[in-house]
Structure 1
């Protein structure tokens, strides 16, 4: 399987003013493409992994040869994370149904969940991601460093779970517009979350 950039169902300026057009274009065409290019190069020497989807691959990193594991962790992880991130952006959706009920049950309220998610995203030191995951039939908010993904498991990324939401808090995701104001970028996420996609992931995931 040769990894390729997923087609975006929206224009680069679709999420102005929350994410600016230039950031979206560079993020997608440069950063995401770089992860894909390098992952594909590594997989040329690992034919036993070349037919896996990127989600399957990052769940089997413990089987990758040691001298290729870290690079594939970074580049395949970056591809997996960004492929999900683009799906989780959309105007005008509302949290509802089973996911809304589960968030209220596990966190107390939507507001409490959002505040916790923002705190975890802010406290992610350096580059990384904030996640809402489902684990053992419970919702948790966690963070991972660099391009780690909860699907990699605790032996690799220190956390585990099935990602429902993910927010990129690398500076390349927000610096052109927000500079050092990561908090403003994080809070803007709630204006463009694709709750429909998150609900589908929540309803379909298996612990």
Structure 2
């Protein structure tokens, strides 16, 4: 299959003032597009990769189904493509969504005690990720919510190579390219402002699917 850069459901400036339009433009058209280009090159060099969709490629990282000579390439670029495709969907213009569904809110309260406590733990995971990586809210096997972080372009779908596997329902990019133009070294400020642009409708939908064992197929 040929991978494509997904379009956004909002303009590059729509997330301001929390995420600036210049960062969004560069992040989407340059950084994300590079992962797409490199994944297509990987498929050209190894046609059997083209028989798997993006979700499956991420889930098969660390298994013999990904050729050894392409493992790092697919892990970095297939991970980068899935992570960013997911990230764009969980963002929305400020004040345009209504918050967690009653089902998700109950699950958050059950797992963390409160919405504020969930945010605090998520923020700590995002701020504490050394170097480049991601923070995630996800549903682990058994249906309970969990918070984790991954390095580089890894994600919790890569059950064979990450410390904590789950089905992501919310993610935050904490690579410097995601925030440095506006926030410089103030990663915690970027993380805090992220909550103003979360697309809760998307998160609610991902949560409903995840409780049935279904991961986002982007």
Query: TM-score per shorter chain, which class?
Result: over 0.9
Decide which of 131, 135, 144 is 2:136's aligned counterpart: 131
Is 1:161 matched with 2:166?
yes
1 CA distance for matches of 2:193 and 2:111?
Answer: 23
Q: TM-score, normalised by structure 1?
A: 0.97
Find the counterpart in structure 1 of residue 84 from structure 2: 82
Find the counterpart in structure 1 of residue 216 from structure 2: none
Moved over 4 A (4+): none
2 CA distance for matches of 1:121 and 1:180?
Answer: 14
For structure 2, list consecutive stretches of 5 or more residues without a partner in the other structure.
214-218
2 CA distance for matches of 1:158 and 1:75?
Answer: 20
Alignment of 1:6-155 (within 5 A): 6-61=6-61, 62=63, 63-91=65-93, 92-93=96-97, 94-135=99-140, 136-153=142-159, 155=160
For structure 1, list consecutive stretches of 5 or more residues without a partner in the other structure.
none
Deviations 1:113-152 (A, max 9, x none): 0000000100000000000010121100000000001001
Kept in 1, the 8 Å contact 2:169–2:203? The answer is yes
Q: How many pairs were matched up?
A: 206
CA positional deviation for 1:31: 0.1
2 CA distance for matches of 1:166 and 1:173?
Answer: 13
Deviations 1:77-130 (A, max 9, x none): 000000000000013211222111100111000000000000010000000000
Find the counterpart in structure 1 of residue 208 from structure 2: 203
RMSD: 0.9
2 CA distance for matches of 1:7 and 1:26?
Answer: 14
Kept in 1, the 8 Å contact 2:90–2:203? The answer is yes
Deviations 1:151-179 (A, max 9, x none): 011x2122211000000000000000000
2 CA distance for matches of 1:125 and 1:178?
Answer: 17
Find the counterpart in structure 1 of residue 196 from structure 2: 191
